[in-house]
Amino acid sequence: MRKINLTFFIILLIVVVVSCSKEEAEPLKRVPVLPETVYKYDSIGGQVSFDATAGFDIDNDKATLGRVLFYETQLSMNNRVSCGSCHRQSAGFADHVAKSEGFDGKLTKRNSQAILNTGLQSFFFHDLREEFLENMVLMPIADHIEMGLEDKDYMVEKISNIPYYKELFINAFGDSTVTITRISDGLVHFIRSMISVNSKWDIARENNFVNLNPQELRGKDLYFHEFPCSSCHGGNNLMGGASAGENIGLELWYSDPGTVGIDPVRNVPMNGWFKVPSLRNIEVTGPYMHDGRFNTLEEVVDFYDHGIKRHPQLSFFLRRGTNGGFFRLGESPQDLEQNLLTGVEPLRMFMTTQQKQDLVAFMKTFTDHDFLKDPRFSDPFRSF
Ligand code: HEC
Ligand code: HEC
């Protein structure tokens, strides 16, 4: 009797130990923790005199769903990567590496882009290949490097089986049915709400620049008048025109050709044309350029100062004889024409050390510290 009892006790002990250690090994559950009253996304950006939503009506419940989807690792093939893995809020929704790691450990072809004021942009990706944000937001999920979830039915099934989405879909759409269009819709409302218009620069524009210090004011003059920066990174969003990229002469010939198409002036395949990015939050979105080749703004400025290459398709704004489309003193339209016909002479800016520092100081006024900390855009997931 005593012996049986002992055997029984030992078996019980083993069972308890095994089940305990099993419990310990169980991964933590990631669950979104959302505010009791839904965050207001529909009034962001009201403090400036232009409409950063571009007339798009942001719905608070759809944006809330989009926020959860944006940080949802289960939208990737192996449940490890979310949009937020490569688009980090503290980095202006870019990230701090030249190429980002996708779900399978492979690296993306290009540098992760900052996300902001998408309402003011007409084309997406470095090569401007996508016009509609509605299509664009689903691409990273299916991308074989980024998130790897190619099968749309499986995506819908996965999201349908996660309990916390039920209420989010009901709030956003009136019932809990998950569809691809609704997933895209939620993400679009969230991304459209990522409006960044509260930088020192924005405040300066509304107040006759009284809040800029002498160095920033000198930088502003250089940016808008002395050097051609604002010809490309200009306007309310400090970015280029909508429909075409520019070739800035990073290389003599680009292995990543960028925009696909025919160069309208020379009638040859385009090479090295990339989206002119908005310089908002540029202080925190490095490394820079489509391939993340420059780590600091100082390196970028050095490149523009004396590093522009003689690429046959180099933008006119960066050739000698032009200053952002204006002629330099002593140079005529004939000189310009000559330059364009006879070969490419890249612009050399001959910046002093002081000018370089002033330019960088000025670009740092584009940082919107509220945007980088706004809880409405933060990761709602907590592990339990
Ligand atoms: C593995 C990293 C990675 C993940 C995950 C990822 N992205 Fe990206 N994202 C990038 C890269 C790299 C680019 C630039 C791609 C290109 O130009 O070809 C980009 C570009 C973008 C752009 C274009 C911005 C512009 O200014 O044109 C948006 C918007 C965007 N991503 C949103 C998302 C969303 C939404 C998700 C989740 C569904 C997501 N990304 C997931 C790396 C990532
Ligand atoms: C001809 C148009 C043009 C002009 C002029 C121009 N840029 Fe750019 N800029 C671009 C393009 C296009 C890119 C992106 C190139 C790439 O991704 O490879 C870029 C990229 C940048 C970046 C990095 C952005 C990022 O997110 O990686 C910075 C910073 C920058 N430019 C600053 C400046 C400054 C400062 C000047 C003036 C000295 C200037 N640019 C003049 C077109 C221009």
Stated pTM of the model: 0.91
Integer Cα distance of 163 and 169 in angstroms: 11
Between the CA of 39 and the centroid of ligand 1 the distance, in Å, is 24
Tokens standing for 267? 């009638």
- φ/ψ of residue 216, rounded to 5: -65, -35
Would residue 381 be called left, alpha or beta, if left means φ above 0 and alpha means ψ between -120 and 50 degrees?
A: beta
Integer Cα distance of 119 and 113 in angstroms: 16
User: pLDDT, tens digit, for every residue of 292-336?
Assistant: 999 999 999 999 999 999 999 999 889 886 554 444 444 555 555
CA distances to 244, 258, 384 from 272, rounded to whole Å, are 12, 5, 47
User: pLDDT, tens digit, for every residue of 237-294?
Assistant: 999 876 679 999 999 999 999 999 998 878 889 999 999 999 999 999 999 999 999 9
Tokens standing for 155? 């995506």
Q: Which domains does the chain have, with CATH numbers?
A: 24-196+370-376 (1.10.760.10), 200-368 (1.10.760.10)
Mean pLDDT of 41-53: 90
What average pLDDT does the chain have?
Answer: 89
CB-side neighbour CA atoms (13 Å) of 383: 4
User: pLDDT, tens digit, for every residue of 152-196?
Assistant: 999 999 999 999 999 999 999 999 999 999 999 999 999 999 999
Q: How much of the chain, in percent, has pLDDT values that exceed 70?
A: 86
User: pLDDT, tens digit, for every residue of 134-149?
Assistant: 999 999 999 999 999 9
Contact of 224 with 323, CB cutoff 8 Å: no
Ligand nearest to the CA of 286: 2
CA distances to 82, 104, 183, 247, 384 from 381, rounded to whole Å, are 11, 22, 18, 41, 10
Between the CA of 276 and the centroid of ligand 2 the distance, in Å, is 6
To test ligand 1's pocket by mutation, which of 72, 82, 103, 115 has the most ligand atoms within 8 angstroms of CB?
115
Ligand nearest to the CA of 259: 1
To test ligand 2's pocket by mutation, which of 233, 253, 357 has the most ligand atoms within 8 angstroms of CB?
233
Between the CA of 209 and the centroid of ligand 1 the distance, in Å, is 34
For 205-233, give the DSSP string: HHTTTTTS-HHHHHHHHIIIIISTHHHHS
Tokens standing for 374? 């706004």
User: pLDDT, tens digit, for every residue of 186-242?
Assistant: 999 999 999 999 999 999 999 999 999 999 999 999 999 999 999 999 999 999 876
